[in-house]
Chain A
Amino acid sequence: MKERRGTPNLHEVGRIMLKGMTRLVSRVHKLDPGRFLHLGTQASQCLVAHLNNQVPNESPRAISRTLENDPAKHGEQHVGRHYSIPAQDLETALPHGLPPRFVMQVKTFNEACLMVRKPALELLHYLKNTNFAHPAVRYVLYGEKGTGKTLSLCHIIHFCAKQDWLILHIPDAHLWVKNCRDLLQSTYNKQRFDQPLEASIWLKNFKTANERFLSQIKVQDKYVWNKRESTEKGSPLAEVVEQGIMRVRNATDAVGIVLKELKRQSSLGIFRLLVAVDGVNALWGRTTLKREDKSPIAPEELALIYNLRKMVKNDWQGGAIVLTVSQTGSLFKPRKAYLPQELLGKEGFDTLDPFIPILVSNYNPKEFEGCIQYYLENNWLQHEKAHTEEGKKELLFLSNRNPGLLERLCAYL
């Protein structure tokens, strides 16, 4: 400190302390995005109040993170900022929903951070104001490739998991209509086909996501699996799920039972049901699966798809249905198609007809800056020129602010 004549000015002391506090706060922001900042004494609390009113005199950078980790409290002011999902929530709420590149990013950075964006906020607003006495409303997220439909869906699922809803999440319906090694003829209905592998994998993930509900919900019918095994009326749903996981042959039927029971009991008010399907256009498209005589199978001949279609109809109350239509992974659809009408086809669109479409578009300039800032904070952009203005302009030009493309570009820079 330089020597000053006379008593030091209170304003100057305050300014210097404020500078120090700002630096401390911004450093703590970087270290612990999830922790709440504790400030002990009264004097420092006054300074914190000053902080909120005055502009900090650090260099003006885009802010990319927010401390608000509860999706219920996200609002307009958080658009363009990343919030982190704790590892526990990731395991329970989203065991199988995240896109593979995002999973790689989570592993590399050791944290799962999602950006808060307008389409997700809109959907959250609608979900907060749902009337559970009315039939379930269908929301369809649509947009071009790489704009963030799946991650918006994951944001919604995290919100619903936090609010204690029952989550019925099908991570990618396209996986159920192609590349199936073992197709069995269904025991329940001779015309339909079973997919034991896909059904058992889904049941395992469903169990991890909704452990606590499975013991509370009771089955309302007796189900006979074979000569020796049956599930009595009134036994918990967990038994049905166990049966499906252990006896892989009955997995598809177990899935059908789970869907039927949940639909029946959602209007009773014990739980609120969220049906989240990614790539719902697979339910009404074509499949690449063939019978032994090489004749093609239509989607309704697959038991999983047949039961899922019943779930997606809006004839039940006590929840909401959030769907995504995507061209990636779809079969026999042109690459540039992204509108619901083009991807669902006539049959699908008519079935889903009164739905609320939500467009997910590329980043706006603020979100783009926030994304670049997030990568810079994690030291992901290692190329020297990526830190400069020129580099940012080039990234903007190359990616056209498309989130998926930007992620791929920054991966090797």
Chain B
Amino acid sequence: MAAPTVKVARGWWGLAFGVRRTVLRLPGLTQVRWSRYGPEYQDPQIDKEYYRKPLAQLTEEETYERELRKTQVIKAAPATKTSSVFEDPVISKFTNMMMKGGNKVLARSLMTQTLEAVKRKQFEKYHAASAEEQATIERNPYTIFHQALKNCEPVIGLVPILKGGHFYQVPVPLADRRRRFLAMKWMIAECREKKPRRMLMPEKLSQELLEAFYSRGPVIKRKHDMHKMAEANRALAHYRWW
């Protein structure tokens, strides 16, 4: 990934209080991703346990923090973040990545059907296995999902760097969020492209997740390919300047 560029709008006028004003003025540049909230806006506190703590048990810092929050402006909580006990940010992110055309209902139903399919397959294996093997079989679809994505995360990535008129693929350490993104992206791409015509997404996804959980399958292979390429281009590592 190239070094991030910040593009800034020219001349914002008639702004209400709290809306971000121009940060940096450079000719010919527009800020691509921005938030309508200014820097003084605080993130909402969604955790129910935070509010359930009785006032008597709060330490001084926490009481101070609560008093301070009463004076601050707070952003609106997004519709996708709930205070449900079953909420999982990784699952939400994956659902958003699977979504096409804003059809969140379909994406969410595919996700729930996938989790159900994983669970049923594992239950079948459990009932067919002997007593010793039963202890090793994992039936929780959420642990399988998290472990599978963790197994698919690459450790090192390649970035095209322009030097002397040519682009070279340079091995580069990846940030955590980039690794998680790549793992999810590869998983979804694999399930969309390489499945037989009439197979449905939940079935294919559950298959791929189970294979990745056991560290085999095409997504793991892609991760290993990435590592091998990085190893092969070891000599170009000096082209990286950060």
Contacts and interface: CB of A to CB of B under 8 A. Distances in A.
Interface string B94-118: 0000000000000000001101100
A315 interface: no
Given A108-B124, A110-B127, A412-B141, A382 B85 contact: no
B120 A413 contact: no
A141 to B, nearest CB: 28
Interface stretch (A118-126, A235-243, A273-281, A386-394): A386-394
Given A110-B127, A412-B141, A383 B120 contact: no
Interface in A69-125: 104, 108-110
Contacts of A110: 127
Contacts of A391: 85-86
A386 B86 CA distance: 8
Contacts of A382: 119, 139-142
A179 interface: no
A379 B116 CA distance: 14
Contacts of B120: 104, 108
A413 B87 CA distance: 11
B84 interface: yes
Q: Which of B85, B113, B115, B124 has the most CB of A within 10 A?
A: B85
B192 to A, nearest CB: 21
A36 B86 CA distance: 40
B2 to A, nearest CB: 40
Contacts of B113: 412
A109 B113 CA distance: 18
Contacts of B84: 394
B124 A385 contact: no
B34 to A, nearest CB: 36
B111 to A, nearest CB: 8
B168 interface: no
Contacts of A394: 84-86
A411 interface: yes
Given A108-B124, A382-B119, A413 B86 contact: yes
A108 B123 contact: yes
Interface string A369-409: 00000000001001101101011001000000000000000
Interface residues of B, number: 16
A413 B112 CA distance: 9
A385 B112 CA distance: 17
A394 B124 CA distance: 28
B123 A383 contact: no
A385 B84 CA distance: 10
A391 B235 CA distance: 54
Contacts of A390: 85
Nearest to B142: A383
B115 A412 contact: yes
Nearest to A379: B139
B119 A383 contact: no
Contacts of B142: 382-383
A388 B85 contact: yes
A390 B85 CA distance: 7
A314 to B, nearest CB: 43
Contacts of A386: 86
Given A379-B139, A382-B141, A412 B116 contact: yes
Question: What 8 pairs across the A-B complex have the smallest Cβ distances?
Answer: A382-B140, A385-B85, A412-B115, A412-B112, A411-B116, A412-B116, A390-B85, A108-B123
Given A104-B120, A412-B119, 16 more contacts: A108-B123, A108-B124, A379-B139, A382-B141, A383-B86, A383-B140, A383-B142, A386-B86, A391-B85, A391-B86, A411-B116, A411-B119, A412-B112, A412-B113, A412-B116, A412-B141
Interface of B: 84-86, 112-113, 115-116, 119-120, 123-124, 127, 139-142
Interface of A: 104, 108-110, 379, 382-383, 385-386, 388, 390-391, 394, 411-413
